[in-house]
Every structure is written in C-alpha cells, then in structure tokens.
Amino acid sequence: MAGKRTFTMIKPDAVGAGNTGAITKMIEEAGFKIVAMKKTYMSKERAGQFYAVHKERPFYEDLTNYMSSGPIVPMILEKDNAVEDFRKLIGATNPKEAAEGTIRKLFAESIEANAIHGSDSDENATIEGNFFFAEIEKF
C-alpha cells in the first residue's frame, strides 16, 4: 500500500528522559498504527550509515555522536498520508520553531537532541524501515 507507511525513531535524549511511553501514546492517539517497534542501539558507524545523506553537513559529526549516545526506539507506522501527517505531528527540526502541541515542542531539548525522527518521503520511509526491521517483524 504505497504512501501509507512512515518510519520514526525516538532519539537517545527522549528515551533517556523516560519519554518513550508518552511519545508512543501521542503517536497512537494521532491515528498511527504501530507496524514494527523495538528498543535498540546504533554504533557511531551505523548512525553514520543511517544519516549518510548529511555527510557533508557541518553537524554530521555531532549528529552521529549524539545518535550513538544511547538506546533508540525505531518504529514503522501506518496511516493514510503517513509521511506528511507524521512530520506535522513531530513539528519543526528546531523545537523553538515547532508548533504548540507537537512532539518536538513538548519533548525536544535542542535542534540536535530533538526527541524524534520522521522520514521525509515515501521512498526514504521504506529504506529507513528496512534498515532496522526484517519482514517477519512487520505486522
């Protein structure tokens, strides 16, 4: 079902702060079905692979250090218009610019430690979901 899934991960700051449950509740209450979910960890090398598109950006080194600083909770989510609707639910990259009631407004610490990831296209949602989950883990 093209366009119905997105990929997210709760980032190390939010997992470490004990916000996994509150964020997951918001995701489900917004109408997203959890297709796959686990708690795991990315080495710095693996974080570098996940964020390879940002390799030339000035924040890449910081970003890969941060994303490998603690456990994360990746998920595949399903809903009509999933990618766009999920980006709305999480809010702007910088929590100072995020709309009221968004996950980043409520839980992000900074532009880098911003609580949660959301795929930016259907194509990337598939690639990112497959980075973490085998077919047998998707329901």
Annotated binding-site members for ATP: 11, 59, 87, 93, 104, 114
Nearer to ligand RTP, 63 or 106 (CB): 63
Nearer to Mg ion, 85 or 120 (CB): 120
Kindly report the CA angle at 17 between 15 and 133, in degrees rounded to 5?
5
Count other C-beta atoms under 10 Å from residue 120's C-beta. Answer: 14
Contact 112, 62 (CB under 8 A): yes
* Piece in contact with ligand RTP (CB under 6 A), picked from 14-22, 32-40, 69-77, 110-118: 110-118
- Least distance CB 117 / ligand RTP (angstroms): 4
Least distance in Å: CB of 3 to ligand RTP? 18
Among 19, 68, 102, 114, binds ligand RTP (CB under 6 A): 114
| Rounded Cα–Cα distance for residues 117 and 137 (Å) | 20
Beta strand segments in 1-139, E:
5-10, 33-37, 73-78, 116-118
Nearest by Cα to 72 from 22, 126, 17, 34: 17
Catalytic (active site) residue 54: no
Number of CB atoms found within 10 A of residue 76's CB: 26
Query: Residue 139, interface with ligand RTP (CB under 6 A)?
Result: no
Q: List the catalytic residues.
A: 117
Q: Which residues bind ligand RTP (CB under 6 A)?
A: 59, 63, 93, 111-112, 114, 117-118, 120
